[in-house]
Amino acid sequence: MSKNPILLIVMDGIGFSETGIGDAVTMAHTPVLDKLLAESPNVRLKAHGEAVGLPGDDDMGNSEVGHNALGCGQVYSQGAKLVNEAIESGRMFGIADSGAAAGEAWSELINNCKDNGILHFIGLLSDGNVHSNIAHLFSMLREAKKSGIKAARVHILLDGRDVPATSALDYVEKLEDVLTELNDETFDGKIASGGGRMKLTMDRYQADWAMVERGWKTHVLGEGRNFSSAKGAIEAFRSENPGIIDQDLPGFVIAENSEPVGKIIDGDSVILFNFRGDRAIEISMAFDRSASGGNSSEFPYFDRVRVPDVCYAGMLQYDGDLQLPARFLVNPPEIKNTLSELLVANKINQYAVSETQKFGHVTYFWNGNRSGKTSEELETFKEIPSDKISFDLRPWMKSAEITDDLIEVIKSRKYGFIRCNFPNGDMVGHTGNLAASIIGVETVDLGLSRLIPICEEYSVTLIVTADHGNADEMLEKNKKGELELRTAHSLNKVPFIIYDKENDYKIIEGDYGLANVAPTLAKMLGLTPPVSWEKSMI
């Protein structure tokens, strides 16, 4: 095998549609991608379900587990599957002997508020299995009552992104049914606050701390527009703004007699029940006193006004290097033997670049959920700041800047492996704007058109793939057979393409997933992968 440098491009959210409905990828003008698929060695990869460590093949993939698999060449139990196993075995609640600190965290949370406090749950109210699963919340509510908790409050973040765009009332009804089942003279459970996931609380990569501030005011301080029920809030917002989707709904507070039912105060316990890390880190920083400091002056991102002395835990530890949060319910996968480790061991310089929205994916998630570098000397990371604007209003995002940077990096001849993420197909796809998503896909194709001549000139092998689908399926049929907006990831396969004018690579026929990419890259570079890896495709 030639040891030419390799450029790996992850076209985030670009897959192959099986329905042809709302397929922005096919509708887009993509002459370069079309030619690559017609003339270069390529195969379609599974990027969801068991291929990326999720419970089953009805579970859509996401950028986090996708980049984990791409970067480590192995399949680890992930997200929902990890939590499912911890709940089913009883380890999360200390029922089974786990030998880990997770059961202790549940005991700490319960004991802290068992007598006079309230146990609060904050998280995404859906069964999308990308950030959370409502079933996990239900299991914890039931176990909390068994453990002697007298009062629980749920602060709901509405999805409409990993599930149908206007499905929030379905999930609210399910939660209300469980609370009704549990409520009696010994237990008082209520929904306390809520709002759309793209309006409050769930920012990522410190792109928009104002989102987290809005969440803090809503959940902790109990400040915001008052309603008597979550259903009433959602119906009112939809009536006032026809066409609004769940992820964009404003924040709301549930109140009785003009008093919020669920402010978070000293002596309470708080569980963030999202299992995915990227959109859980900032709110954890605001709560975790060991990470952020116990008073507002030590927290520079926004004025928290009041910092309650609570026992706080995440479903997982969202950042192992930062130990954030310090307390967590389920141990994350311990990913070992990543591609970056193999490259460093063989003294190969590597470079990673994306804009803010996906920078963590080509660094933290790619490197096995590690914030730092495997080698300061051999790894270079470049973050290009994302625009703070809805991505359907600027669907080209920072693709031109990413491409400019890649061209200069290739010309430097310093790196044996270069990787990047073009976020357009995913981030614009999540807005539900089909026309804008078409532009986003075309923008990625334009980037490819600029990179191919440079790869040819500098003898670089170009690999084009994706981490999951999204823009390829932006409409779906509901139970009535009517078309409705789809903003979630798809279950479709994604491309893996090799473009190399100097080497005649042939892909071995087989059934492959994202974890087969790293072994293939290693073979191209003449390296021997760890025995734990999946097989190479060439």
Residues with a catalytic annotation lie at: 63
Q: What is the largest CA-CA distance in the chain?
A: 75
Distance CA 314, CA 438 (A): 37
Closest CA to 50 of 72, 31, 69: 69
Backbone φ and ψ for 135, nearest 5 degrees, come out as -65, -35
Distance CA 82, CA 519 (A): 25
Residues 6+ apart with CB under 8 A from 535: 510, 516, 519
Distance CA 523, CA 525 (A): 5
Closest CA to 319 of 281, 282, 376: 281
Closest CA to 307 of 325, 287, 291, 323: 287
Count Cβ atoms within 10 A of the Cβ of residue 209 and give its class: 0-12 exposed, 13-18 middle, 19 or more buried.
middle
In 3-state terms, what secondary structure has residue 313?
strand
Distance CA 254, CA 261 (A): 6
Q: Answer whether the bond into residue 325 is a cis peptide, omega within 30°.
A: yes
What are the respective helix, strand and coil percentages of the chain, to the nearest 5? Answer: 35, 20, 45
